[in-house]
Amino acid sequence: MNTSERLIESTRELLWERGYVGTSPKAILERAGAGQGSMYHHFKGKPDLALAAVRRTAQEMRATAEAVLGGPGTPYERIEAYLTRERDVLRGCPVGRLTMDPEVIASEELRAPVDETIAAIRERIAAIVEEGKRQGRFAPGLDGQDIAAAALATVQGGYVLARASGSPAAFDAGVRGLLSLLAAPDPGRQD
């Protein structure tokens, strides 16, 4: 791996662990085993390097999600596969994490890949829900966009619960909760 690549990969790791504000060029260079000069030769500065890292992370996450959501199975099974796919829960989401960073949110360029990735996955899930409705597998009253937002939020919020408690259990519980509602052969509520 060349120096430029190593810089991007180190930045991705640090952004995931510590966010944009908490990531210094110095830490990146140490992790990449490079000197100051290399970084400023390949990139204009920290924001430029972070942009490259964020774009790659976003792209990768999109591909991962698409691989699962575009896989085999009924609509329910594909959503289930997305929610239960293997995750390093306590590390959190490398894309979602960035939304808590004020400097990322303040930068149109940095926020764009984050927004696009989340929007794309949401659209994908929404389409699957609509497909399930057409097949009579989901109640016609469900709104694809709303269910997709709830599913994505369950994942993103699951990370919060898990990290707060120091255990992945709460993430799993949230996913089970949502799936039990989505799968319910009986109504959730009866009045």
- Binding to a copy of itself by residue 166, rule CB under 8 A? yes
- Binding to DNA by residue 102, rule CB under 7 A? no
CA distance 147 to 140: 12
Long-range own/partner contacts, residues 7-13 (CB < 8 A, 24 or more apart): 7/32, 7/34, 7/38, 7/39, 7/42, 7/43, 7/49, 8/49, 8/52, 8/53, 8/56, 11/49, 11/50, 11/52, 11/53, 12/53, 12/56, 12/57, 12/94
Show the binding pattern over residues 124-163: x = contacts a copy of itself (CB under 8 A), - = does not: --------x---xxxxxxxx-xxxxxxxxxxxxxxxxx-x
Q: Which amino acid is at 177?
A: G
Show the binding pattern over residues 22-61: x = contacts DNA (CB under 7 A), - = does not: -xxxxx------xxxxx-xxx--xxx--------------
Q: Which has the closest alpha carbon to 15: 4, 31, 1? A: 31
- Binding to a copy of itself by residue 27, rule CB under 8 A? no
**In terms of CB distance, is 23 or 154 closer to DNA?**
23
**In terms of CB distance, is 60 or 103 closer to DNA?**
103
Q: What is each CA distance from 109 to 52, 54, 86, 104, in whole angstroms? A: 11, 10, 30, 8
Show the binding pattern over residues 111-130: x = contacts a copy of itself (CB under 8 A), - = does not: x--xx--xx--x--------
Residue 162 · residue 170 · CB < 8 Å: yes
Determine the interface stretch with DNA among 2-10, 60-68, 157-165, 175-183 (rule: CB under 7 A).
2-10
To a copy of itself, the closest distance from the beta carbon of 97 in angstroms equals 6
- Binding to a copy of itself by residue 12, rule CB under 8 A? no
To a copy of itself, the closest distance from the beta carbon of 124 in angstroms equals 14
Residue 21 · residue 102 · CB < 8 Å: yes
Per CB under 7 A, residues contacting DNA are 2-4, 23-27, 34-38, 40-42, 45-47
